[in-house]
């Protein structure tokens, strides 16, 4: 989707949220290929009509080159031509700062020397990702000043505090013998990288290692109960085994070292506006390195050669476990039932639901290695969503088996890290 079309959707979002009639749109959007049925079901579970409309407009930006004109056509076909006309008019009066007009796209290639020939060990996690669309155009770093200063401040989260927020890293490496979960070799490498990276991004970093499920819950609740009034955001990183679970908004579960799972939805819920008032309106970022199933993706054939960095003499192993209903967890129904609309939240997953997430003993996981590299190169100039696209693109090019990271994005504004 062109930037002028994205900008039109953002400018017209308030009117669309208040006036959009969704019922006639669902079937038409599926028939025209804008969204798949599972995507539409996720949108319909977002809450009230207004909340569904808001998330629909946000997700439209990820649906490719033809998404905007197709959406306008559907609006007119369903008797909502006035909204289509409004969006068309917004496209005709773009507000592009002059200093951004000459920017050219740059490409990220992380397939060079960083690909070590180590034994690949699948993680396990569950993740939702955006459907594949055209390759995004990324601007180079601006010559002077921060990127956020060059954009509309109403659409950018401001990070003024120093430190700008807390970063909690939960790193589970060794699991109890009766859990049937293997040791996560390479996770300490991931943890060390992210500790250094988030400290460089002006966060107060706290790391906890090898926690049981209830101990993980206690650490998360302790962080959520702190007073974040003087801070601007919050980051939670979880490095562990994972599984699929029943969910409404955020799929997947994370294992404690005792083999007991915690729903990611429950983890996110600790930090929503109801349970953590001092973070209301502030970005809350979650980075999940784990697996979500047993499937191994061999990818599909492209017109060009894909790198094959299968580990020599090594066999690929899977940590994944079957789908968990968590019927014995008395806390889950209440957590799901009271979950409000998750505004100002982004959950980044290392892999697609149902698929393994690969980790190498000496260099760590593909996802964290790539995330750290992208943050190092681009955090000073690009917003978080652009960088996560770079991560997905680079990780998807790795290995004999394939992996594609993705995210659930409920941020209301662009997020730029604060760099030292």
Give the C-alpha separation, 116 to 310, whole Å.
10
User: Which residues does 297 contact at the CB level (< 8 Å), separation at least 6?
Assistant: 352, 355, 401, 402, 403, 404
Give the CB-side neighbour count of residue 131, counting CA atoms within 13 A: 16
Q: Where are the alpha helices (DSSP H) in 92-229?
A: 187-200, 213-225
Locus of tokens 């396990």: 124
The number of residues in the chain equals 420
Is there a contact between 70 and 30 (Cβ–Cβ < 8 Å)?
A: no
Query: With contact defined as beta carbons under 8 Å apart, do 295 and 354 qualify?
Result: yes
Residue 156 to residue 147: CA distance in whole angstroms:
10
Which structure tokens are listed for 61? 């930006």
User: Which residue(s) pair with 204 in the sheet?
Assistant: 166
> What is the CA angle 303-307-312, rounded to 5?
145
Closest CA to 62 of 43, 87, 81: 43
Q: Where are the beta strands (DSSP E) in 144-232?
A: 165-171, 203-209
Nearest alpha carbon to residue 269 among 256, 288, 250: 250
Structure tokens at 93: 């009066």
Q: How far apart are CA 283 and CA 306, in angstroms?
A: 36
Strands (DSSP E) contained in 178-283 are 203-209, 233-239, 242-243, 253-255, 261-263
231 close to 281: Cβ distance less than 8 angstroms: no
Question: Do residues 46 and 342 touch, judged by C-beta distance below 8 A?
Answer: no
Residues with active-site annotation: 241, 291
C-alpha–C-alpha distance, residues 387 and 110, integer Å: 13
Kindly write down the DSSP assignment for every residue of 46-73, as one continuous string. Answer: SSSHHHHHHHHHHHHTTS-TTHHHHHHH
């Amino acid at each position: 989707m062109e930037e002028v079309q994205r900008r039109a959707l953002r400018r017209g979002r308030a009117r669309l949220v208040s006036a959009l009639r969704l019922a006639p749109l669902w079937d038409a959007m599926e028939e025209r290929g804008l969204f798949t049925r599972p995507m539409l079901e996720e949108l319909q579970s977002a809450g009230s009509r207004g909340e569904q409309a808001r998330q629909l407009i946000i997700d439209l930006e990820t649906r490719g080159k033809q998404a905007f004109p197709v959406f306008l056509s559907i609006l007119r076909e369903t008797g909502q031509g006035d909204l289509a006309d409004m969006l068309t008019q917004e496209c005709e009066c773009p507000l592009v700062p002059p200093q951004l007009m000459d920017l050219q796209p740059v490409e990220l290639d992380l397939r060079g020397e960083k690909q070590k020939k180590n034994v690949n060990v699948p993680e396990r996690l569950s993740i939702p990702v955006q459907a594949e669309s055209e390759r995004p155009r990324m601007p180079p770093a601006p010559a002077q000043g921060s990127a956020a200063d060059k954009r509309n401040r109403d659409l950018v989260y401001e990070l003024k505090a120093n430190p700008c927020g807390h970063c909690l890293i939960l790193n589970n490496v060794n699991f109890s013998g009766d859990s049937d979960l293997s040791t996560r070799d390479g996770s300490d490498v991931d943890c060390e990288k992210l500790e250094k990276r988030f400290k460089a991004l002006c966060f107060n970093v706290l790391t906890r290692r090898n926690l049981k499920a209830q101990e993980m819950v206690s650490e998360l609740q302790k962080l959520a109960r702190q007073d974040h009034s003087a801070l601007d955001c919050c980051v939670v990183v979880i490095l562990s085994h994972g599984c699929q679970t029943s969910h409404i908004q955020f799929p997947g579960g994370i294992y404690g070292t005792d083999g007991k799972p915690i729903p990611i939805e429950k983890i996110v819920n600790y930090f929503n506006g109801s349970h953590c008032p001092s973070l209301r309106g502030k970005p809350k970022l979650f980075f999940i390195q784990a697996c979500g199933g047993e499937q191994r993706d061999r990818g599909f054939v492209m017109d060009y050669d894909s790198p094959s960095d299968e580990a020599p003499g090594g066999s690929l192993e899977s940590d994944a476990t079957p789908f968990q209903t968590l019927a014995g967890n008395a806390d889950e129904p209440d957590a799901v039932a009271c979950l409000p609309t998750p505004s100002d939240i982004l959950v980044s997953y290392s892999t697609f639901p149902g698929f393994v997430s690969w980790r190498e003993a000496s260099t760590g996981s593909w996802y964290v290695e790539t995330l750290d590299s992208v943050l190092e190169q681009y955090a000073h100039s690009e917003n978080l969503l652009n960088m996560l696209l770079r991560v997905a693109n680079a990780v998807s090019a790795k290995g004999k088996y394939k992996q594609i990271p993705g995210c659930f994005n409920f941020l209301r504004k662009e997020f730029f890290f604060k760099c030292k």
